[in-house]
Chains A and B, each alone.
Chain A
């Protein structure tokens, strides 16, 4: 092989390698994550997803940096200071999971004024200059009832397990459930608070069961499905369809029941990997794309068909997760337009 051929080959190689990178104008941009809390498994999984996805993006040359910062205490004043430090460090975009929807508005405004793209997700901020990737909790309630309505077109009795009383999320999911039930033949015959914890849910369901007629389905808020199953399994009632919340123990129980007697249900929740969605949305904005200010987080659904796969990839004590890709982020943006 002559030198010329080698050079030609190398040039061709460079061109093919360079092609996918060429369309991104963001290779010199730096993105930072400002996170307010890291003290539970969901947040740990969220940070892990950010790290994995961010490192890959840096290796691929899509962005120059994707650094994660967590405040040492879950305090708004500390997060405001952290964001101001990021402005000084010269990041091009800041992705925020906020400690308070309002108390860091001043810092967010300062970032926007400095020409920095700010994207908030999960814990969103109210400052109008920032993008918001919010969770539609009402929809989460509606989806459950819709699935049950497909399974039981004739209707029947439902048991509702709620979350922690007085918390915004609990009110929203429950409102969605009750709103959707009016469009079906279902009737909610009982409602208990499970505090999003299996043990609390088990006790609460065991307590209300003797007073209930036969139920065909249980609507939940996540983290409570396994407890409900345990409580109902301890009686001689037929097992109703319990909607699950993507927790590993819930998926495991579902898979075991499926193997034993063909049990079918569905499961949905918010994947911790939503941080990677926020990353790609920030990247798209930096790329000059037209992105609406308000986006909605898609739900991660585990259906009968992908139960086995989901269970394989979910560690014990954790939640089913998925990392979003650039194309999925584009889909979410397109859907909001």
Chain B
């Protein structure tokens, strides 16, 4: 078994254990309908986690994912619904802005954590400007897509798999993905090999922007309306998802399948605690405990890997 496979084993196991526990507590969840309800809100979380992964891949961290997804959700529920052309133009502009941020961070040697923290206020402010009070509506095709009744397996299970597979092809199987991971692994070496790191970083940030936009759109498809604060939690969820899925903060070590599974695990952990009827005062702490437990087990794996 290669070390990459070994790395993926743990997230898969933790998801399986949680799923088993949820099915035990709530047998009703073991159905087409039940799986859909359990996992459909995990689709935007998975996309946001992929966005975060693109940034972590080049050794940076993005603290603006949550507000960016909220902003995209607001644009989708207003402009994309009312004047589609303008709406898509704004979303495309947002992706370009993300790419420009990547270039700026590389050119000026700025710490990404500070730049993205600053940007989180910009996206949050824009979201409030677009949608001062909650409202808007989901474009019809998006609502249809998110509530699609697929045969046999619900969309909430198919969509994360499709996302993970597509990103896997892009990052692990295409030349551009390999080079982008190289930026995280050894930026200097890439530069000496003749690559423009500015362009590469802009590309990975642009990809992050793209997945952020997709997350916002999916979220509106599910909720049917937006709110300027709708996705604030996604910032921390996405970071936790990447790490839970076997990613590392440095070295370009990331796993698309792992990240998506990490996002599903976090979503499921919340449902599990709610089925347990744990008091809300303890829930945040318990969620953290699950996270620490999984990471602690991973540390054992990594040690073994190192000594092997």
Q: Which residues of A contact B (CB under 8 A)?
A: 38, 67, 69-73, 75-78, 80-82, 84-85, 87-90, 100-107, 109-110, 114, 126-127, 168
What is the count of residue pairs linking A and B with beta-carbon distances less than 8 angstroms? 91
Interface status of B37 (Cβ within 8 A of chain A): yes
| A87 partner residues in chain B, CB cutoff 8 A | 37
Q: What are 7 inter-chain pairs, A to B, with CB distance below 8 A?
A: A69-B274, A69-B280, A78-B233, A89-B26, A100-B134, A105-B223, A105-B225
Asked if A102 and B275 make an inter-chain contact with CB atoms under 8 angstroms apart, the answer reads no
Asked if A102 and B28 make an inter-chain contact with CB atoms under 8 angstroms apart, the answer reads no
Asked if A72 and B280 make an inter-chain contact with CB atoms under 8 angstroms apart, the answer reads yes
A71 and B275 CA atoms in complex are apart in Å by: 13
Interface status of B83 (Cβ within 8 A of chain A): no
Interface status of B226 (Cβ within 8 A of chain A): yes
Binary interface encoding of chain B residues 189-224 relative to chain A, with 1 for a CB under 8 A from any of its CBs, else 0: 000000000000000000000000000000100111
CB-contact partner of A76 in B26, B229, B277, under 8 A: B229
Asked if B136 and A89 make an inter-chain contact with CB atoms under 8 angstroms apart, the answer reads no
A73 and B288 CA atoms in complex are apart in Å by: 14
Interface status of B271 (Cβ within 8 A of chain A): yes
Asked if B223 and A88 make an inter-chain contact with CB atoms under 8 angstroms apart, the answer reads no
CB-contact partner of B270 in A81, A100, A126, under 8 A: A81
Interface status of B227 (Cβ within 8 A of chain A): yes
Q: Nearest chain A CB to B20's CB is how many angstroms away?
A: 16
Asked if A80 and B270 make an inter-chain contact with CB atoms under 8 angstroms apart, the answer reads no
Scoring A76, A78, A126 by chain B CB atoms within 10 A of each residue's CB, the highest score goes to A76
Asked if B274 and A82 make an inter-chain contact with CB atoms under 8 angstroms apart, the answer reads yes
Asked if A103 and B37 make an inter-chain contact with CB atoms under 8 angstroms apart, the answer reads no
Smallest CB gap from A35: residue in B: B280
Q: Nearest chain A CB to B82's CB is how many angstroms away?
A: 16
| B280 partner residues in chain A, CB cutoff 8 A | 38, 69-72
Binary interface encoding of chain B residues 220-240 relative to chain A, with 1 for a CB under 8 A from any of its CBs, else 0: 001111110111111000000
A201 and B275 CA atoms in complex are apart in Å by: 44
Asked if A106 and B227 make an inter-chain contact with CB atoms under 8 angstroms apart, the answer reads no
Smallest CB gap from B225: residue in A: A102
| B224 partner residues in chain A, CB cutoff 8 A | 102, 105-106, 109, 127
Asked if A80 and B223 make an inter-chain contact with CB atoms under 8 angstroms apart, the answer reads yes
A67 and B283 CA atoms in complex are apart in Å by: 17
Q: Nearest chain B CB to A277's CB is how many angstroms away?
A: 23
Asked if A75 and B232 make an inter-chain contact with CB atoms under 8 angstroms apart, the answer reads yes
| A75 partner residues in chain B, CB cutoff 8 A | 229, 232-233
Q: Nearest chain A CB to B166's CB is how many angstroms away?
A: 24
Q: Nearest chain B CB to A168's CB is how many angstroms away?
A: 7
Question: Knowing that A67-B277, A85-B271, A85-B274 are A-B contacts, what are 10 other residue pairs whose CB atoms are under 8 Å apart, sorted by A's residue number?
Answer: A72-B284, A75-B232, A80-B41, A84-B41, A85-B37, A89-B28, A89-B275, A102-B224, A102-B227, A103-B134
Q: Nearest chain A CB to B298's CB is how many angstroms away?
A: 25
Smallest CB gap from A111: residue in B: B37
| A88 partner residues in chain B, CB cutoff 8 A | 26, 28-29, 34, 37-38
A126 and B281 CA atoms in complex are apart in Å by: 29
If A102-B135, A106-B222 touch, does A73 touch B233 (CB 8 Å cutoff)?
A: yes
| A78 partner residues in chain B, CB cutoff 8 A | 233, 270
Q: Nearest chain B CB to A305's CB is how many angstroms away?
A: 40
| A109 partner residues in chain B, CB cutoff 8 A | 224
| B29 partner residues in chain A, CB cutoff 8 A | 88
| A168 partner residues in chain B, CB cutoff 8 A | 133
Binary interface encoding of chain B residues 258-291 relative to chain A, with 1 for a CB under 8 A from any of its CBs, else 0: 0000000001001100110100110110010000
Asked if B28 and A76 make an inter-chain contact with CB atoms under 8 angstroms apart, the answer reads no
A84 and B136 CA atoms in complex are apart in Å by: 22
A168 and B283 CA atoms in complex are apart in Å by: 31
Contacts of B115-155 to chain A: CB distance below 8 A:
133-136
Scoring A73, A90, A102, A105 by chain B CB atoms within 10 A of each residue's CB, the highest score goes to A102
Smallest CB gap from B134: residue in A: A102
Asked if B225 and A84 make an inter-chain contact with CB atoms under 8 angstroms apart, the answer reads no
Asked if B223 and A76 make an inter-chain contact with CB atoms under 8 angstroms apart, the answer reads yes
| A81 partner residues in chain B, CB cutoff 8 A | 41, 267, 270-271
A76 and B26 CA atoms in complex are apart in Å by: 23
| A100 partner residues in chain B, CB cutoff 8 A | 134, 227, 229-230
A106 and B133 CA atoms in complex are apart in Å by: 18
Scoring B40, B134, B226 by chain A CB atoms within 10 A of each residue's CB, the highest score goes to B134
| A127 partner residues in chain B, CB cutoff 8 A | 224
Q: Nearest chain B CB to A228's CB is how many angstroms away?
A: 30
Smallest CB gap from A74: residue in B: B229
Smallest CB gap from A102: residue in B: B225
A75 and B287 CA atoms in complex are apart in Å by: 16
| B226 partner residues in chain A, CB cutoff 8 A | 102-103
| B232 partner residues in chain A, CB cutoff 8 A | 75
| B283 partner residues in chain A, CB cutoff 8 A | 72
| B40 partner residues in chain A, CB cutoff 8 A | 84
4 closest cross-chain pairs (CB), A and B: A102-B225, A72-B283, A103-B227, A70-B280
| A38 partner residues in chain B, CB cutoff 8 A | 280
Asked if A76 and B227 make an inter-chain contact with CB atoms under 8 angstroms apart, the answer reads yes
A75 and B219 CA atoms in complex are apart in Å by: 14
Smallest CB gap from B28: residue in A: A88
If A69-B274, A71-B280, A77-B233 touch, does A84 touch B28 (CB 8 Å cutoff)?
A: no
A101 and B228 CA atoms in complex are apart in Å by: 12
Asked if B230 and A103 make an inter-chain contact with CB atoms under 8 angstroms apart, the answer reads yes
| B267 partner residues in chain A, CB cutoff 8 A | 81
